[in-house]
A = this chain, B = another copy of it.
Amino acid sequence: MESEIPTDISLVWEKLVQSGGRIVYLILDGGGGLPHPETGKTAYQEAHTPNLDQLAQSSSCGLLELVGPGITPGSGPGHLALFGYHPLRYTLGRGVLSALGIDFPLQEGDVAARVNFATVDTEGRITDRRAGRIATETNQRLCETIRQTVRLDFEGEYFFETVSEHRAVFVLRGPGLNAKVQDTDPQRTGVFPHPAEAETADSQQTATLVNTFVEQVKEVLNNEKPANAILLRGFERYEPLPSLQERFQLQGLCLASYPMYRGVSRLLGMDLIAPPTSMEAAFEALGEHYGDEHNFYFLHVKGTDSRGEDGDFQGKVAVMEAVDRLLQKILALDPEVFVVTSDHSTPAVMAQHSWHPVPVLIHSQYARSDKLPQFDEYHCLRGSLGLRPGIHLLGLALAHAGRLKKFGA
């Protein structure tokens, strides 16, 4: 009769899933914030968002703390929490995140690593770990040359892809690979790059492949300036996560434009449409694809985060107002559950991600409507969802969609 209490509540939802209504997530990336020093108002408070405010009045509102108290979520962990994947259980390393960040279609068993183009002196000592932050176009040219020239002799293949500026990603695919390989990047200048060292007997072959690759790249880049070497770190084997379908019977559709969010969606088994070319296009696409094929829709708005990271408070306000003008396109679909929230805060005053909880609303026939006059960081504190961990959201969305059975008799 006694059993372990799961530390991850999503493991309980998994056992209760059934079919039910459709769920739409509208994620305003980095939507939460801090008051503007002059006006004392946050971007949500400053923005003129009559549609969102009206929606909030007939919704359950609250605040989500995405990963934990004081913990500033990266985009990966923030979204994993929203999708019901505990971000302290499902941790994504540097290699896999780099690949996801360019929406590279990783396959099970792939070994991925983050790459820096770097500068070494005539003796081979590192003088700049970022090769003066070369232009992305230079990076693309170098990657193309490397792909044309470098050949690895094994029963598999490699991929070498531009991320941006000095950043690239290296992926090995094939039999017998093992990611227990130490970084070649010593993370400081004035020293030689490390050889890739195997941490176990099983990873010897992979380490050898990496060293062969690095040697050949050195030849290729010999006359390049400033990017005449590469440094690799964060070797990681890709293990697909259990999908939203497997865990929650959710067949998702991703309507995000940016590679990182597309990558995370792919990781969870969502279908993807071609990247929408604008925010309007993404909202339009939702209407076009809304139907019986999917029961979970992920509409991602990047602008709120981008303007926040720029420190552009008014820009962030403008994005929120633009979202508000498009809101009717979602409301017209009348989804059984409509969620508006964020993956983390990005206060313009900090110009970076922050730990502050984010407003959330759940609109549904079965939501307690809080009749709050406005959707913002302060009013949502008084909402019926309270202040809760981000991982709670998916369970609440599933419940409101009629997708969770009763627990016990």
| A contact residues vs B (CB 8 Å cutoff) | 1-9, 12-13, 16, 34-35, 40, 63, 67-77, 86-94, 96-97, 101, 236, 238-239, 241, 347, 349-350, 352-357, 366, 368-370, 377-378, 381-384, 386-388, 392, 394-400, 404-409
A402 nearest in chain B by CB position: B350
Asked if A407 and B7 make an inter-chain contact with CB atoms under 8 angstroms apart, the answer reads: no
Residues on the B chain within 8 Å of A97, using CB? 408-409
Name the residue of chain B whose CB is nearest to the CB of A91. Answer: B3
Q: Are the C-beta atoms of B89 and A5 separated by less than 8 Å?
A: yes
Please, how many angstroms separate the alpha-carbon atoms of A350 and B367 in the complex?
Answer: 11
Contact B86 A5 (CB under 8 A): yes
**Alpha-carbon gap, A35 to B87, bound state (A):** 35
- Give the contacting residue for A398; candidates B70, B77, B399, B409; CB below 8 A: B70
| Cross-chain contact B368 with A356 (CB below 8 angstroms) | yes
Q: Which B residues are in CB contact (< 8 Å) with A90?
A: 1-2
A74: which B residues are within 8 A, CB to CB?
406-409
Docked-complex contact B1 and A71, CB < 8 angstroms: no
Question: B5 to A8, Cβ gap below 8 A?
Answer: yes
Q: What CA separation (Å) do A18 and B39 show in the bound complex?
A: 31
With A7-B7, A74-B408, A407-B71 known as contacts, the answer to whether A386 contacts B384 (CB < 8 A) is no
Beyond A16-B71, A74-B406, is A382–B381 a contact (Cβ under 8 Å)? yes
Complex CA gap A12/B404 in Å reads: 31
CB contacts (< 8 Å) of A241 on chain B: these are: 1
Give the oligomeric copy count: 2
Given A2-B90, A381-B386, CB of A69 within 8 Å of CB of B408: no
Contact with A396, one of B16, B70, B94 (Cβ below 8 angstroms): B70
Known: A5-B88, A88-B5. A40 touches B408 (CB 8 A): no
Set of chain B residues within 8 Å of A87, measured between Cβ atoms = 407-408
Contacts of A386 in B (CB 8 A): 63, 381, 386-387
Q: Which B residues touch A384, using CB under 8 A?
A: 63, 357, 377-378, 381
Residues A404 and B8 in contact, CB atoms below 8 Å apart:
no
Other contacts beyond A3-B89, A381-B386: 11, CB < 8 A? A1-B96, A12-B71, A35-B369, A67-B407, A77-B408, A97-B409, A354-B366, A368-B377, A368-B378, A382-B382, A386-B386
* Contacting pair A71 B404 (CB below 8 A): yes
Measured between beta carbons, the chain B residues less than 8 angstroms from A350 are 366
Q: Which residue of B lies closest to A40 (CB)?
A: B369
Chain B residues in 8 Å Cβ range of A4: 89
Contact A408 B9 (CB under 8 A): no
A73, A241, A387, A408: residue with the most chain B Cβ atoms closer than 10 Å: A408
> Can you list the 6 inter-chain pairs with the closest CB atoms, starting with the nearest?
A70-B395, A70-B399, A74-B408, A386-B387, A69-B392, A77-B408
| A12–B399 CB distance below 8 A | no
Is the beta-carbon distance between A7 and B9 smaller than 8 angstroms? no
Chain B residue with the shortest CB-CB distance to A345:
B368
Complex CA distance for A90 and B387, rounded to whole angstroms = 27
Q: Which residue of B lies closest to A404 (CB)?
A: B70
Query: 17 A-B residue contacts at CB 8 Å?
Result: A1-B96, A1-B239, A2-B89, A3-B89, A5-B88, A9-B68, A13-B70, A69-B395, A69-B396, A69-B399, A71-B399, A74-B408, A75-B409, A77-B407, A77-B408, A350-B366, A381-B386
Provide the residues of chain B in CB contact with A382, threshold 8 Å.
Answer: 381-382
Taking CB atoms, residues of chain B closer than 8 Å to A355 are 396, 399, 404
Q: Which residues of B contact A35 (CB under 8 A)?
A: 368-369
Docked-complex contact A406 and B88, CB < 8 angstroms: no
- Measured in the bound complex, the distance between the Cα atoms of B75 and A4 in whole Å is 21
Residues in chain B near residue A370, CB distance under 8 A? 378
Contacts of A8 in B (CB 8 A): 5
**In the bound complex, how far is the Cα of B87 from the Cα of A406, in angstroms?**
13
